[in-house]
């Protein structure tokens, strides 16, 4: 069950632009991402910018599994390499970053967090990003001291979302199982002329005897009743 996606708007302090749109400091050579290296897919139609991002991420200890140079490639390479996270430019040929994010979210079985990178700090883009799995929004030029926290924050939120999805899925399964057991119990009460407690004990005993879950036993009882009716 998919949950609503979150969108973070991260505005950066003015900085001096260096070649390739990236800035580094000499004191940032530490492997910030090396503790739990994420598998990151990059998507940017500018090869120099993509190479700059790849170098920065690898220096920070992240694992760049693939680079895409347009939106269609981003969708295809996500399916091929199954990254933990995607860092993607908005303005790309064939399919822009927002539409690529929508396609990725649709095709992926698991939630993949996406951080958008753009030269345009527009509220309209933030609004369009909603519901597309976007967990970060960075404005060029990007500094390592901004990029790494954005990645770590997006990953933390993504893990929370995945955990909540697991809780919701588990609750849904429990509710379904309870409904099936109640229905099967009602069938036994009617056809065997027993009370609710007796019907439940009979089901529990048979469940243990066959080493199957109560939900599966309930399904079998309901199916048999449907055939005989």
> In the chain, where are the structural domains located?
19-165, 167-228
Question: Would you state the pLDDT for residue 29?
Answer: 39
In which band, very low, low, confident or very high, does the pLDDT at 228 lie, cut at 50, 70 and 90? Answer: low
Q: How far is CA 216 from the centre of its chain?
A: 30
User: Out of 2.40.110.10, 1.10.10.10, 1.20.1250.20, 3.40.50.300, which CATH number does the structure's domain 167-228 have?
Assistant: 1.10.10.10
Mean pLDDT, range 96-100, rounded to an integer: 85
Say whether pLDDT at 192 is over 80. Answer: yes
The pTM for the full model equals: 0.57
Question: Would you state the pLDDT for residue 62?
Answer: 92
The half-sphere exposure of 76 on its side-chain side, counting CA atoms within 13 A, is: 9
CATH number of 19-165: 3.40.50.2300
In which band, very low, low, confident or very high, does the pLDDT at 187 lie, cut at 50, 70 and 90? Answer: very high
Q: How far is CA 140 from the centre of its chain?
A: 25
Question: Would you state the pLDDT for residue 2?
Answer: 38
| Cβ–Cβ < 8 Å for 79, 107 | yes
| Distance (Å) of CA 65 to CA 58, 75, 154 | 10, 14, 18
201 vs 146, more confident: 201
Distance between CA 52 and CA 47 in Å, rounded?
8
The sheet carrying 134-139 orders its strands as: 63-68, 39-43, 85-89, 114-118, 134-139
Say whether pLDDT at 4 is over 70. Answer: no
Distance between CA 112 and CA 115 in Å, rounded?
10
Question: Would you state the pLDDT for residue 76?
Answer: 94
Say whether pLDDT at 73 is over 90. Answer: yes
Taken in order 216, 217, 222, 223, is the CA torsion positive or negative? positive
Question: Would you state the pLDDT for residue 98?
Answer: 83
Helix (H, G, I), strand (E, B) or coil at 13: coil
Same fold, 19-165 and 167-228: no
Alpha helices in 31-143 (DSSP H): 47-59, 71-81, 97-107, 123-129
């Amino acid at each position: 069950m998919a949950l609503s996606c979150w969108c973070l708007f991260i505005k950066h302090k003015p900085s001096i632009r260096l070649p390739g749109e990236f800035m580094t400091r000499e004191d940032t050579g530490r492997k910030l991402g090396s503790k739990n290296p994420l598998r990151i897919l990059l998507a940017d139609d500018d090869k120099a910018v993509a190479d700059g991002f790849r170098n920065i991420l690898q220096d920070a200890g992240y694992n760049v599994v693939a680079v895409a140079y347009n939106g269609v490639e981003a969708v295809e390479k996500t399916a091929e390499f199954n990254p933990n996270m995607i860092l993607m430019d908005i303005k790309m040929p064939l399919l822009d970053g927002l539409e690529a994010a929508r396609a990725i979210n649709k095709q992926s079985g698991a939630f993949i967090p996406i951080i958008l990178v753009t030269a345009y700090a527009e509220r309209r883009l933030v609004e369009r990003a909603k519901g597309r799995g976007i967990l970060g929004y960075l404005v060029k030029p990007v500094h390592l001291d901004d990029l790494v926290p954005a990645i770590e924050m997006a990953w933390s939120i993504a893990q929370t979302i995945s955990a909540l999805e697991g809780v919701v899925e588990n609750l849904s399964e429990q509710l379904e199982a309870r409904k099936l057991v109640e229905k099967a119990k009602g069938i036994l009460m009617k056809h065997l002329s027993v009370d609710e407690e007796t019907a439940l004990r009979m089901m529990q005993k048979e469940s243990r005897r066959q080493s199957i879950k109560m939900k599966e036993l309930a399904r079998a009882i309901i199916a048999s009743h449907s055939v005989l009716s």
